[in-house]
Structure 1
Amino acid sequence: MNSEIEPNTLPLYARSALGVVTTPNALASRVGADILGQGGNAIEAAIAIAAAIAVVYPHMNSIGGDAFWLVADEAGSVRGLAGAGQAGAAYSPQYYADAGMSALPERGGLAAVTVAGAVGSWGAAYDMSREAWGGRLEWAALLEPARRYAETGFPVSRSHAVTLAERAEALRNLPGFAEVFLAPGGLPGEGDIFRQPALALTLAELQREGSDAFYRGALAGRLAKGLRAAGSLLGADDLADYRPCWVDPLRLAYGDGELINLPPPTQGVASLMLLGLLERSGVADMDPEGDAYVHHAIEATKLAFALRDRYVGDPLFVDVPLADLLDAAHLDRLALHIDPDRAVDSPVSPGPGDTVWFGVVDAQGRSVSMIQSIYHEFGCGVVVGDTGVVWNNRGCSFSLSPGHANELAPGKRPFHTLNPALYVENGRVRLVYGTMGGDGQPQTQAAILTRALNFGYAPDEAVAAPRWLYGRTWGETTAGVRLERRFAPEVMAGLQRRGHRDVSWVPRHAGIMGHAGMIRIGRHADGLDLEAGADPRSDGAAYGATDHSATEES
Structure 2
Amino acid sequence: MADRPSGNRKQTRSVVHAQNGMVATSHPLAAMAGLHILQQGGNAFDAAVATASVLCVVEPMMTGLGGDMFALIYDADNQEVKGLNASGRAPRAATPDFYEQNGFSSIPSTGILSATVPGVVDGWSQFLENYGTLTFKEVLAPAIRYAEEGFPVTEMVAYYWKKAERLLLQSEEASRNYLIDGKAPAEGTLFKQPGLARSLHRIAKDGRDAFYEGDIAARIDEYMKRHQGLLRKEDLREHRSQWVAPISTNYRGYEVLEIPPNGQGLVVLQMLNILENYDLKAIGHNSAEYIRLLIEAKKLAYADRDRYIADSEFSDLPVDRLLSKAYALQLADSIQSGSKNNEPGIQLGGDTVYLTVADKKGNIASVTNSIFSLFGSGILIPDTGIFMHNRGSLFSLDRNHPNVLHPGKRPFHTIIPGMVLKDRKPLISFGVMGADMQPQGQVQTLANLIDFGMNIQAAGDAPRFRHYGHGVFLESEIGQSTRQALADQGYTLLEQSDGDDFAVGGYQGIFVDPETGLFQGGSDPRKDGCAIGY
Q: TM-score range by the shorter chain?
A: over 0.9
Q: Quote the residue 1:535 is aligned against.
A: 524
Cα distance in 1 between the residues matched to 2:330 and 2:229: 46
Counterpart of 1:430 in 2: which secondary structure? Answer: strand
Cα distance in 1 between the residues matched to 2:427 and 2:471: 34
Q: 1:381 aligns with which of 378, 383, 390?
A: 378
- Residues 221 and 512 of structure 1, relative CA distance in 2, 3 Å threshold: same
Cα distance in 2 between the residues matched to 1:405 and 1:439: 19
Shift of 1:349: 4.4
Post-superposition Cα deviations, 1:162-217, rounded to whole Å, max 9, x if no partner, equal 22222212331225211211113743101101110011011001000012221112
AA at the equivalent of 2:86? G
Kindly indicate whether residue 494 of structure 2 is the aligned counterpart of residue 504 of structure 1.
yes
Q: Do the aligned residues in 2 keep the contact of 1:484 with 1:510 (CA within 8 Å)?
A: no
Kindly indicate whether residue 360 of structure 2 is the aligned counterpart of residue 363 of structure 1.
yes
Q: Quote the residue 1:4 is aligned against.
A: none
Cα distance in 2 between the residues matched to 1:16 and 1:213: 37
Counterpart of 1:485 in 2: which secondary structure? Answer: coil
AA at the equivalent of 1:541? C
Shift of 1:218: 2.6
Moved more, 20-29 or 275-284: 275-284
Counterpart of 1:48 in 2: which secondary structure? Answer: helix
Give me the TM-score of the superposition, normalised by structure 2.
0.94
- Residues 325 and 185 of structure 1, relative CA distance in 2, 3 Å threshold: closer
Unaligned runs of 5+ in 1: 1-6, 472-477, 547-554
Q: Do the aligned residues in 1 keep the contact of 2:506 with 2:526 (CA within 8 Å)?
A: yes
Cα distance in 1 between the residues matched to 2:345 and 2:207: 43
AA at the equivalent of 1:67? M
Moved more, 392-401 or 281-290: 281-290
Q: Do the aligned residues in 2 keep the contact of 1:353 with 1:437 (CA within 8 Å)?
A: yes
Give me the TM-score of the superposition, normalised by structure 1.
0.91
- Residues 349 and 312 of structure 1, relative CA distance in 2, 3 Å threshold: closer
Q: 1:68 aligns with which of 67, 70, 75?
A: 70
- Residues 494 and 259 of structure 1, relative CA distance in 2, 3 Å threshold: same
Q: 2:48 aligns with which of 40, 46, 49?
A: 46
Cα distance in 1 between the residues matched to 2:495 and 2:476: 6
Post-superposition Cα deviations, 1:301-320, rounded to whole Å, max 9, x if no partner, equal 00101111111100111111
Shift of 1:543: 0.4
- Residues 493 and 52 of structure 1, relative CA distance in 2, 3 Å threshold: same
- Residues 12 and 24 of structure 1, relative CA distance in 2, 3 Å threshold: farther
Post-superposition Cα deviations, 1:221-272, rounded to whole Å, max 9, x if no partner, equal 1222123334321000000110001000001111112110010100111111
Q: Quote the residue 1:350 is aligned against.
A: 347
Cα distance in 2 between the residues matched to 1:76 and 1:456: 27
Q: Quote the residue 1:493 is aligned against.
A: 484
Q: Quote the residue 2:4 is aligned against.
A: none
Counterparts of 1:53-452 in structure 2 under 5 Å? 53-74=55-76, 76-112=79-115, 114-130=116-132, 135=133, 137-184=134-181, 186-339=183-336, 341=338, 343-452=340-449
Post-superposition Cα deviations, 1:132-173, rounded to whole Å, max 9, x if no partner, equal xxx2x2321100111111100001122221222222123312
Cα distance in 1 between the residues matched to 2:281 and 2:161: 41
Counterpart of 2:518 in 1: which secondary structure? Answer: strand
AA at the equivalent of 1:33? L
Shift of 1:124: 0.6
Shift of 1:85: 0.3
Q: Quote the residue 2:504 is aligned against.
A: 513
Cα distance in 2 between the residues matched to 1:14 and 1:519: 9
AA at the equivalent of 2:531? A
Counterpart of 2:369 in 1: which secondary structure? Answer: strand
Q: Do the aligned residues in 2 keep the contact of 1:175 with 1:384 (CA within 8 Å)?
A: no
Q: Do the aligned residues in 2 keep the contact of 1:13 with 1:543 (CA within 8 Å)?
A: no
Shift of 1:510: 5.3
Q: Do the aligned residues in 1 keep the contact of 2:379 with 2:388 (CA within 8 Å)?
A: yes
Post-superposition Cα deviations, 1:97-142, rounded to whole Å, max 9, x if no partner, equal 1111111112221222x10000000001111114xxxx2x232110
Moved more, 374-383 or 283-292: 283-292
Counterpart of 1:523 in 2: which secondary structure? Answer: coil
Counterpart of 1:338 in 2: which secondary structure? Answer: helix
Q: Do the aligned residues in 2 keep the contact of 1:343 with 1:499 (CA within 8 Å)?
A: no
AA at the equivalent of 2:529? G
AA at the equivalent of 1:481? V
Cα distance in 1 between the residues matched to 2:215 and 2:504: 41
Q: Do the aligned residues in 1 keep the contact of 2:12 with 2:461 (CA within 8 Å)?
A: no
- Residues 53 and 10 of structure 1, relative CA distance in 2, 3 Å threshold: farther
Q: Do the aligned residues in 2 keep the contact of 1:111 with 1:232 (CA within 8 Å)?
A: no
Q: Quote the residue 1:551 is aligned against.
A: none
Cα distance in 2 between the residues matched to 1:10 and 1:394: 35
Moved more, 400-409 or 69-78: 69-78
Shift of 1:345: 4.7
Q: Quote the residue 1:552 is aligned against.
A: none
Q: Do the aligned residues in 2 keep the contact of 1:226 with 1:386 (CA within 8 Å)?
A: no
Q: Do the aligned residues in 1 keep the contact of 2:136 with 2:203 (CA within 8 Å)?
A: no
- Residues 381 and 54 of structure 1, relative CA distance in 2, 3 Å threshold: same
Q: Quote the residue 2:30 is aligned against.
A: 28
Q: Do the aligned residues in 2 keep the contact of 1:153 with 1:196 (CA within 8 Å)?
A: yes
Moved more, 434-443 or 170-179: 170-179
Unaligned runs of 5+ in 2: 1-8
Post-superposition Cα deviations, 1:429-463, rounded to whole Å, max 9, x if no partner, equal 11111111111100000111110122111111110
Shift of 1:297: 0.7
* Backbone CA RMSD of aligned residues: 1.9
- Residues 125 and 279 of structure 1, relative CA distance in 2, 3 Å threshold: same
Q: Do the aligned residues in 2 keep the contact of 1:511 with 1:538 (CA within 8 Å)?
A: no
Counterpart of 1:22 in 2: which secondary structure? Answer: strand
Counterpart of 1:528 in 2: which secondary structure? Answer: coil
Give the total of aligned pairs: 522
